[in-house]
């Protein structure tokens, strides 16, 4: 069954870790400034969240006490989940001469449908506070790959609790699903290489495989040639997405959303790449 080992890849580890709250529910008392700013642009769009739960394969049992039946309460986890999906679906400028990749790439990485990007998956949630997210490949042939996002993406007091970082984790975990589909081994430390090593300061490192703007046509992010000349790591896809949110988003995307995305991307670029710091949001494009 190739690499589907039924082991959760703690693929999006926190740099310094937080205490685990076993059996807890994420903090449901507040939403970050950027979550509320983006929310105000759509005002709780019912048609969108009725589409989103299907597109992301959400299951009611996973989200029943997290806003499944209260989808317009932005303090709860499910509304925050679809708020991030809204940014991903409509917020990118898709500038051929400036964007790393297009909406078609980011949607295919995040959404549940089987494609050239990954096999079928579904999005769930965990109360863990020591990770941002996990990817768990299916064990049984009739099962489905699972992406879980965790409380640090939903608790408003954590800097990563913002729409860009949450959607960025959809990229990261979705790219572990891509590796699983094509049997790429990115390392045995939660799907990454052990660290610290090189410029990477945490235990869970990637390489940044530099490519020029326009090297990938929109829709071609999944392509690789089996060498470093045409390849992406999970942290790289995440950083490129976050920098596209920061620098190449639609005019109406709030400044607080773009600033939070840039902060997350630049922190990752500085700490998670062996050959870092990789790309920094705001640097001139193309090169």
Residue 38 pLDDT: 98
Would you state the pLDDT for residue 107? 98
Q: Judge residue 29's burial from the number of C-beta atoms within 10 Å of its C-beta, 0-12 exposed, 13-18 middle, 19 or more buried.
A: exposed
State residue 179's pLDDT score: 97
Beta bridge partners of 249: 92
CA distances from 143 to 7, 43, 47, 74, 251 (A): 14, 36, 29, 31, 41
The per-residue pLDDT for range 129-154, each reduced to its tens digit, is 999 999 999 988 889 999 999 999 99
CB count within 10 Å of CB 70 equals 13
Distance between CA atoms of 87 and 91, rounded to whole angstroms? 5
**What are the structure tokens assigned to 112, written together?**
């549940």
Tell me, what's the pLDDT at 6? 38
Q: CA 24, CA 26: separation in Å to the nearest integer?
A: 6
pLDDT, residue 286, reads 72
Could you give the CA distance from residue 167 to residue 182 in angstroms, rounded to a whole number? 23
Counting as low any pLDDT under 50, the low residues of the chain are 1-8, 10-11, 15-23
**Rounded Cα gap, residues 167 and 172, in angstroms:** 9
């Amino acid at each position: 069954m190739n690499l589907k080992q039924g082991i959760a890849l703690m693929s999006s580890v926190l740099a310094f870790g937080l205490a685990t709250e076993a059996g807890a529910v994420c903090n449901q008392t507040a939403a970050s400034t950027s979550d509320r700013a983006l929310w105000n642009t759509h005002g709780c769009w019912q048609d969108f969240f009725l589409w989103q739960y299907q597109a992301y394969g959400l299951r009611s049992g996973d989200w029943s006490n997290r806003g499944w039946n209260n989808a317009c309460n932005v303090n709860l986890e499910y509304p925050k989940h679809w708020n991030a999906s809204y940014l991903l679906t409509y917020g990118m400028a898709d500038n051929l001469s400036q964007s790393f990749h297009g909406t078609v790439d980011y949607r295919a990485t995040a959404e549940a449908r089987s494609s050239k990007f990954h096999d079928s998956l579904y999005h769930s949630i965990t109360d863990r506070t020591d990770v941002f997210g996990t990817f768990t490949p299916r064990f049984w042939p009739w099962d489905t790959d699972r992406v879980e996002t965790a409380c640090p993406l939903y608790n408003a007091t954590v800097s990563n609790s913002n729409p860009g970082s949450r959607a960025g984790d959809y990229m990261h975990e979705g790219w572990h699903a891509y590796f699983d589909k094509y049997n790429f081994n990115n390392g045995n430390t939660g799907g990454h290489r052990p660290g610290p090593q090189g410029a990477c300061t945490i235990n869970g490192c990637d390489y940044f495989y530099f490519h020029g703007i326009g090297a990938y046509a929109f829709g071609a992010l999944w392509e690789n040639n089996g060498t470093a000349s045409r390849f992406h790591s999970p942290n790289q896809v995440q950083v490129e997405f976050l920098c596209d949110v920061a620098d190449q988003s639609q005019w109406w995307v709030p400044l607080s959303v773009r600033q939070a995305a840039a902060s997350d991307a630049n922190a990752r670029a500085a700490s998670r790449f062996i050959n870092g710091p990789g790309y920094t949001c705001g640097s001139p494009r193309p090169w």
